[in-house]
A = this chain, B = another copy of it.
Amino acid sequence: MTGAAPEAGQGPRGRRPGPTETRAAILDAARALFGDKGYDGASVRAVARAAGVDPALVHHFYGGKQGLFVAAMRFPVDPAEVLARFATADRAAFPETMARTFLEFWDDPDRRAPILALFRSAMTNERAAAMMREFVTAALLERVAEGQGVPLERVQAAAAQLVGMAVLRYVLRVEPMASLGRDELVALLAPALRAHFG
């Protein structure tokens, strides 16, 4: 769940570790292809070909396209981690879980700066916006829509409530929203999220 890469020098594991150079070649190829083709347009197969490795090795290292994207782009939030939290949430308390999870990521000092940098880049750069749109839609929003049994635009409206809160709280820093405690904010936002998930 921590997303940390295995440390060098930990000795042999059950699975054969790839050399550092192979991982680096895969991540370089992935960055180039995601940057060039976007998230939807790049494939594990094309990345493997560009890196000169077997696609099975990319799957072995990164679990698939989503994990490869998170690792290559140093994406500060792993959708697999978010979905794991959502999966264990009480269905009736899903709005509270969604708000709390979002706030915990933004309030984490190790993640705040990279999330903010990524968000600013998507706000001002069309290529970064397209990559964020494609990745977040495929890896998170469509899966929440499926899991909650609601149309995609309702999940987008709920995401918009949280994204707008982040703009006001963390970027524009309007008071009192910037200083509210996490529990107060969850209580403030959950009724609106509930209106979307109904």
Contacts and interface: CB of A to CB of B under 8 A. Distances in A.
A132 B177 CA distance: 15
Contacts of A163: 163-164, 167-168
27 contacts: A120-B123, A120-B124, A123-B123, A129-B173, A133-B174, A137-B174, A141-B174, A153-B180, A156-B168, A156-B176, A156-B177, A157-B165, A157-B188, A157-B189, A160-B161, A160-B167, A160-B177, A161-B161, A161-B192, A164-B164, A164-B165, A164-B167, A191-B195, A191-B196, A192-B192, A192-B196, A195-B195
Given A137-B174, A152-B176, A157-B161, 10 more contacts: A129-B173, A153-B188, A156-B174, A156-B176, A160-B165, A160-B168, A161-B192, A163-B164, A163-B167, A192-B195
Given A124-B124, A157-B188, A192-B196, A133 B173 contact: yes
> Is the contact region of chain A dominated by helix, strand, or loop, or is it mixed?
helix
Interface size class of A (residues with CB under 8 A): 35 or more
Interface in A8-58: none
Could you say which of A154, A162, A180, A189 has the most chain B C-beta atoms within 10 Å of its C-beta? A189
Contact of A172 (B122, B171, B188): B122
A139 interface: no
A50 to B, nearest CB: 27
Contact of A129 (B153, B165, B172): B172
Contacts of A162: 164
A70 interface: no
B123 A188 contact: no
Contacts of A132: 172
Contacts of A156: 168, 174, 176-177
Contact of A153 (B133, B141, B177): B177
A77 interface: no
